[in-house]
Structure 1
Amino acid sequence: MFRWFENRLDPFPEAEPAQPPKGFFAFCYHFTKGSEKYLIMVAILMALVAITEVWLFGFLGSIVDWLSEQDRANFLANEWIKLTAMSAVVLIGLPTLVWFQSLLMHQTLLGNYPMRIRWLVHRYLLKQSMSYYQDEFPGRVATKLMQTALSVRQVVVSFIEVVNYIGVYFLAMFVLIATADWRLILPLAGWIVIYALLLYVFVPRLGKISQEQADARSIMTGRIVDSYTNIQTVKLFSHGARETSFARDGMDDFLLTVHKQMRLVTLLYGLLYVINCLLLFASAALAIGLWLNEAVSLGAVAVVVGLVLRLFGMSQMVMWQLTQLFEAIGTVQDGIGSIAVSRTVEDKPDALPLQVSKGGIEFDDVNFHYGKASGVMDGLKLNIKPGEKVGIVGRSGAGKSTLVNLLLRFYDVQSGRILIDGQNIADVQQDTLRAHIGMVTQDTSLLHRSVRDNIMYGRPDASEDELLYAARRAHADEFIADLSDHKGRTGYDAHVGERGVKLSGGQRQRIAIARVMLKDAPILILDEATSALDSEVETAIQENLYNLMEGKTVIAIAHRLSTIAAMDRLVIMDQGRVIEQGTHEQLITQDGLYAKLWRRQSGGFLAEDVS
C-alpha cells in the first residue's frame, strides 16, 4: 500500500528543465507542475476532515441536549439511528478520510515533491554557464538548492493547510455557533479581528527576518564548506584560527537573525495566549448568560466552550503555520536569486550535433572582453589545419586560456566566429562540442569517487581492458595498485578524496591524462599537461602523449617552452592577438618576442617580465 502511494508521483521527471521564472508565485507553480492533482486531492480531503470535525462538535451539543431532556430508559430506543450513524462516521468515515489524506501527503507528496524540485534545479544548474560558478560558492549553491526545494514544498502545503483547512474550519464554526444564537459569534468575531491584526503586524516582519536568515545561513554554510574544501591551504598557512574566526563571523550574523526572530515569536505567542483566554472567558460567560435566560440550550453552551477550547490549539497551529509559511517564502525569494538565473551560454533551439571528420579549427576575427571595457581578444585570426599540432605561447594575460575557453564555448564571443570543420560552434550542441575535445589541465581536479570512476569519466562505456590500457599508457598503473581508502577499498576501487586530495599532484595528473587517453577525442588541448610530473615520469609519459596526438588536432599551452618546441607550429599571442607564428627554428631566426622568451627562460619556464 505504501509503495503504491509512493509511486504515484515521479520524483525524477525526464523532461528537460527550463529556466525557472523569477516571480514568486510563478516560481512555485513552475515546480508544482505534475503534482497539482495530488495537492488538490489533499486539499479536498482536508476540507472534508475540517467539516466533519466541526460537525462532531455540533453532534456533541445534541447529545448533551438529549441527555438533559430525555428519559434514560427510552434514550437508546429514540436515538439509536443517529447514534449508529455517528458511530459509523467516528469509527469508519473520519479515520478513512484521515488515512487517505495522510497517505497522499506523507507517501506521495512530502518526499517526492521536494525531490522533483531538487532534481529539476540540479539538472538546470549543471548546465549553467561557467561564469555562474565563478561568482558563487559551491557550498552556497548546494545550500540554496536544498533549502529552496523544502521551502517551496512548505509554501504550497502550508498554504493549503492554512487557507483551506483553517478557512473551512472557521466558516463551519461560525455557521454552527450562529445556528444556536447569533449573539454567540460576537466574542469570536472580536477575536478574529484582533488575531488578524496580530498577523498583519507580526507575520510580514517574521517573513523579512526569515529571508535575512536564509541568506545568512547560506553564507555561513558557504564559509564552512570553503574552509573544508581548501583545508590543505588552511593548514599550509597555519590559518586554522583565522578560518575559525571567519566562520564565527558568519555564525554571529546568522545568530543575530535568529535572536530577532525569536523575540518576535515570544511577543506573538504571549499576546496570542492573552486573546485566547479572553475569548474563552467571554464566550463561556455569554453562553451561560444566554442559557440562564433560556435563550440557548445546554448543548449550545457545550458546543461553544468546546469549539473555543479547540481554537486554543488551532490558533497557535495557524500562527506557527503562517510563521513557517513566511519563513519559507523568504527562503524561496532568496533562492530565486540564485536559481532563476538565465544561462549566458545557451544552445539554439535548432542546434545540431557537431560532426568532426577532420578536426580543422578556425578563429575568424574573434572579439571577446569578459564584460570589460577593453577586449581580451581583439580581432583574433587563427587557422589550425586538421591534424596540426600547435603550441600557444604568450605571457600571462596574453589570451591563451581565453582562447581555450572560447573554443570549449564556456563563453560566447562578442563578435566573429569559431569554426570546427566549417561548423560555427555557436550553432551546435554544447555537449557534442565538448565530447569531441579532450583536455588535460594544469590544475587537475578529480571527482570524490573511485579511481575507476575518474578514468572512466572519459568514456563511461569503455571496457575494463581499455581502462587498464589507458592507465598503463599514462603510467598511472604504477601507483594505483598500492592505493587504499578508509573503507578498505583498494586499487581502482579506492576513492581519491574531494578534488583528488588523497593523491599527489603528479598522481592526479596521470589519472587525468589516462582519462583523456581513454576519451580519445579528435581534438586535444594540453594546458601545462605535464607540469605536475617529475622529469622521469614526464619523459615516460611524453612518448605516450605524442602517440595520443597522432591523427588529432592539438593545441598545447606551456610555460616551459621546451615541451612544445617540437610542435608543427608555434603561435605567439600578446594582448589577445597573434603577433608571431612559425616553427621553433623560424621564430628563433626572426628574433622577435618568442626568441626573447626563449633566451629569458629560467629553469626551462617562461619568465613573466620580458620588458
Structure 2
Amino acid sequence: MFRRFENQLNPFPPENAPLPPKGFFAFLWFCTRGSRRYIAALAVLSAAVSIYEAWLFAFLGQIVDLLGVWHAGQPASAHERQVLWGIGLVLLASIVLVGLRTMVQHQILAINLPLRLRWDFHRMMLRQSLSFFSDEFAGRVTTKVMQTALAVREVLLTFCEIVLGIAVYFFAIVALAGGFDLRLMLPFIAWMALYGLIMMYFVPRLGKVGKEQAHARSSMTGRVTDAYTNITTVKLFSHTNREARFARAAMEDFKETGYRQMRLVSQFEIFNQVLATALIFSAGGYALWLWHGNEIGTGAVAAVSAMALRVNGMSHWIMWQMTSLFENIGTVQDGIGTLTHPPKVQDAPDAAPLHVTRGKVEFDNVFFNYNNERQVLDGLSLTVRPGEKIGLVGRSGAGKSTLINLLLRFYDVDRGAIRIDGQDISRVTQDSLRGAIGMVTQDTSLLHRSICDNIAYGRPDADRAEIQAAAARAQADEFIQQLSDNHGNRGYDTLVGERGVKLSGGQRQRIAIARVMLKNAPILLLDEATSALDSEVEAAIQESLDEVMEGKTVIAIAHRLSTIAAMDRLIVMDEGRIIEQGSHAELLELGGVYARLWRHQSGGFLAEELMQ
C-alpha cells in the first residue's frame, strides 16, 4: 500500500525544467509542476481533518448534556443511541480521513517533492555557464540547491496545514460556538482579529530576517566548504587560523540574524500568551455567565471552555509553525536569485548538432572582453586547416587560453564568429560542440570516483579493455595497478578522492591524457598538457600524443617552447592579436619575438616577457 502511494509522483522527470520565474509566488507555483493535484488533495484533506477535530468539541458538549439527563443504570433512549452512534461513525471515518491525509503528505509529497526539485535545480545548475561558477562558491550553490528544495516543501505543506487547515478549524470553532449561542462567538472573533493583527506585525519582520538569515547561512556554508576544498593550500601557507577567522566572520553575521529572529519570536510568544489567556477568561467566563442565567446548557460551557483551551495550545504551535514558515520563505527567496539566473551561454532555439567532417577551425575577426573590463581578443582572425597542428605562444594574458575557451564556447564572442567546418559554433548545440573536442589542461581535476570511471568519462560506453588500453598508451597503467583505497578497492577500481587529491600531479595528468585518448575527438586542445610530468615520462607520453594527434586538428599551448617546436605552425600572440606566425625554423629566421623567447629558454632561463 505504501509503495502504491510512493510511486504516484516521479522524483526524477526525464524532461529538463525551464528556467523558473523570479517572483516568489510564481516561483512556488513553478515548483509545484507535476504535483499540484496532490497538493490540492492535501489541502482538502487537511481542511476536512480540521472540521472533524472541531466537531469533537460539539460531541463533547452533546455527551455532557446526555450525562445530565441520562441516569446510571437506565437504558439509552432512541435519541441517546442516535447521538452515540453518530459520534462512533464519525470517529471511525476519521481513521480513513487521517490515513489518506498522511499518505498524501508523507508517502507522495514528503520525499518525492523536494527530491524532484533538487533533481531539477541540479540539472539547471549543470547547464549554467562557466562564468557563473567563477563568481560563486561551490558550497554556496550546493546549499541553495539542497535547502531551497526543502524550504519549498515546508512552505507548501505548512500553507496547506496552517493557512488552510487551521483557518478552517478556527472558523469551524466559531461556528460551533455560535451553535450553542451566537453570543459565544464574540470572544473567539475578537481573539482571531487581534491574533491576525499580531501576525500582520510580526510575520513580515520574521520573513525579512529569515531571508537575511538564509543568505548568511549559505555564505557561512560556502566559506567552510571553500576551506575544505582547498585544504592543501590552507595547510601549505599555514592559514588554518586565518580560515577559521574568515569562517567566523560569516558565523557572526549568521549569529546576528539569529538573535534578531529570536527576539521577534520571544515578543510574538509573549503577545500570543496574553491573547490566549484573555480568550480563556473571556470565553469560559462568558459561557459560565450565560449558564448561570440558564441561557445555555452545561454541555455548551464544557465545549466552549475546551475550545478556548485548545485554541490556547494551538496558538503557540501556530506561532512556531509561522516562524518556521517565514524562515523557509526567506530561504526560498534567497535561493531564487541563484536558481533563476539564466545561463549566459545558451543553445540557439534552432541549434543543430555539429558535424565535423574535416576539422577546419576558423576565428573570423573575433573580439572579446571579460565583463567589459579588459579587451582580451582584438579583431583576431586565424584559420587552422584540417589536420593542421598549431602551437600558441605568448606571455600570460596574451589571449591564448581565452581563444581555447571561446572555441569550446565557455563564453560567447562579443563580435565576429568562430566556425568549425563552416558551421558557426553559436548555432550548434554545446554538447555536440564539446563532444567533438578533446582537451587536456594544465590543472587537471578528477571526479571523486574510481580511476576506471574517470578515464571512461571520455567515452562512457567504452569497455574495460579499451579503458586499460588508453591508460597504457598514456603511461598510466603501471601506477594504476599499484593503487588502493581504504574501502578495499584496488587498481582501476580505486577511488581517487575529491579532485583527485590522492594522486600526484603527474598521475592526474596521465589519467586526463588517457581520458582524452579514449574520447578520440577529431579536434584536440592541449593547454600545458605535459607540464606536470617529469622528463622521462613526458618523453614517453609525447610519443603517445604524437600518435593521438595523427589526423586531428590540434591547437596546443605551451610555455616550454621545446614541446611545441615541432608543430606545423606556431602562432605568436600579444594583447589579443597575432604578431608572428610560421614554422619553428621560419620564426627563428625572422628574428622576432619568438626567436628571442627561444634564445632565452634554450639558454636555461625564462624571458622577462614571459614572467610579466
Shorter-normalised TM range: over 0.9
Greater mean alpha carbon deviation, residues 46-55 or residues 550-559:
46-55
Aligned position for 1:80: 81
Structure 2 distance, partners of 1:515, 1:396, is 27
Over the matched positions of the two proteins, sequence identity in percent amounts to: 57
Q: Which 4+ runs in 1 deviate beyond 3 A? A: 602-611
In 1, Cα distance between equivalents of 2:605 and 2:504: 22
Alignment partner of 1:119 is 2:119:
yes
CA distance in 1, matches of 2:194, 2:175: 20
Partner of 2:336, secondary structure, is: helix
Q: Check conservation: 1:561, 1:605, Cα contact below 8 A.
A: no
Mapped partners of 2:59, 2:611: distance in 1: 95
- Give a deviation string over 1:310-346, Cα, whole Å, max 9, x none: 1112111221221111111111111011110011100
Mapped partners of 1:495, 1:519: distance in 2: 21
1:506 paired with 2:493, answer: no
CA contact (8 A) 1:151 1:328 kept: yes
Q: How many residues align structurally?
A: 610
1:376 partner SS:
strand
Would the aligned equivalents of 2:394 and 2:610 in 1 still touch at CA under 8 Å?
no
Amino acid at match of 2:598: W
1:304 Cα offset (Å): 0.4
225-234 vs 266-275, which moves further:
266-275
User: 1:254 aligns to what?
Assistant: 254
**Is structure 2 residue 207 aligned with structure 1 residue 207?**
yes
1:133-532 counterparts in 2 under 5 A?
133-532=133-532
Assess if the C-alpha contact under 8 Å between 1:559 and 1:605 holds in 2: no
Unaligned runs of 5+ in 1: none
Q: Equivalents in 1 of 2:288, 2:435: separation in Å? A: 82
Alignment check: 8 A CA contact 1:438 1:521 kept? yes
Change in Cα spacing, 1:609 to 1:494, as seen in structure 2 (3 Å) is closer
Which ranges in structure 2 are unaligned for 5 or more consecutive residues? none
Counterparts of 1:547 and 1:285 in 2: how far apart (Å)?
95
Hey, what's the Cα distance between the residues in 2 that align with 1:18 and 1:370? 27
CA distance in 1, matches of 2:328, 2:373: 40
Cα-to-partner distance string for 1:118-155 (whole Å, 9 max, x where unaligned): 00010011010011000000000000111110111111
For 1:547 and 1:374, locate their aligned partners in 2 and report how far apart those are by CA, in whole Å. Answer: 39
| Distance of 2:290 and 2:358 partners within structure 1 | 96
Contact 1:209-1:261 within 8 A present in 2 as well: yes
Cα distance, 1:450 vs. partner? 0.7
Distance 1:187 1:96, change over 3 A: same
Correspondence 1:29 to 2:29: yes
**Counterpart secondary structure, 1:526:** strand
Change (3 A) 1:116 1:314: same
Q: Return the letter of the residue paired with 1:151.
A: A
- The 1-side partners of 2:313 and 2:15 are apart by 43
Q: CA contact under 8 A between 1:213 and 1:257: conserved in structure 2?
A: yes
Mapped partners of 1:65, 1:144: distance in 2: 56
Task: Name the CA distance, whole Å, in 1 between partners of 2:55 and 2:373.
Answer: 71
**Offset of 1:371 from its aligned partner?**
2.2
Alpha-carbon separation, structure 2, partners of 1:309 and 1:29: 36
Q: 2:277 and 2:24 mapped to 1: Cα distance? A: 37
**What's the offset of the Cα at 1:604?**
6.6
Q: Distance in 1 between matches of 2:306 and 2:609?
A: 84
- 1:80 maps to a residue whose letter is R
Counterpart of 1:430, as a letter, is Q
The answer (yes or no) to whether the contact 1:597–1:607 under 8 Å persists in 2 is no
- Cα drift, residue 253 of structure 1: 1.6
CA distance in 2, matches of 1:88, 1:181: 26
Alignment match, 1:68: 68
Q: 1:455 to 1:605 in 2, by over 3 A?
A: farther
- With over 3 angstroms needed to count, the CA separation of the structure-2 counterparts of 1:343 and 1:610, relative to structure 1, is closer
Partners in 2 of 1:174 and 1:610 — Cα distance?
81
By how many angstroms is 1:375 displaced? 2.1
Amino acid at match of 1:184: L
The Cα of 1:74 is off from its aligned counterpart by 3.8
Q: 2:87 is matched by which residue type in structure 1?
A: M
Q: Separation in 2 of the partners of 1:114 and 1:66?
A: 49
TM-score under structure 1 normalisation? 0.98
Aligned letter for 1:482?
Q
Give the distance between the partners of 1:606 and 1:447, measured in 2 at CA.
36
Aligned-residue offset at 1:222: 0.7
Cα separation, partners in 2 of 1:199 and 1:349, compared to 1, 3 Å:
same
Question: Contact between 1:560 and 1:604, CA under 8 Å: does it hold in 2?
Answer: no
| 8 Å Cα contact 1:7-1:108 kept in structure 2 | yes
How much does 1:48 deviate? 1.0
The 1-side partners of 2:329 and 2:119 are apart by 20
Q: Work out whether 1:89 is the aligned partner of 2:66.
A: no
> What CA distance in whole angstroms lies between the structure 2 residues aligned with 1:208 and 1:541?
59
- SS at 1:359 equivalent: coil
Equivalent residue of 1:366, what SS? strand
Partners of 1:221 and 1:608 lie apart in 2 by 41
Match of 1:108 in 2: 108
Q: Distance in 2 between matches of 1:142 and 1:162?
A: 30
Residue 6 of structure 1 aligns to which amino acid in structure 2? E
Please report how far the alpha carbon of residue 553 of structure 1 lies from its aligned counterpart in structure 2 after TM superposition: 0.3
- Matches of 1:179 and 1:6, distance apart in 2: 41
Matched letter for residue 382 of structure 2: L
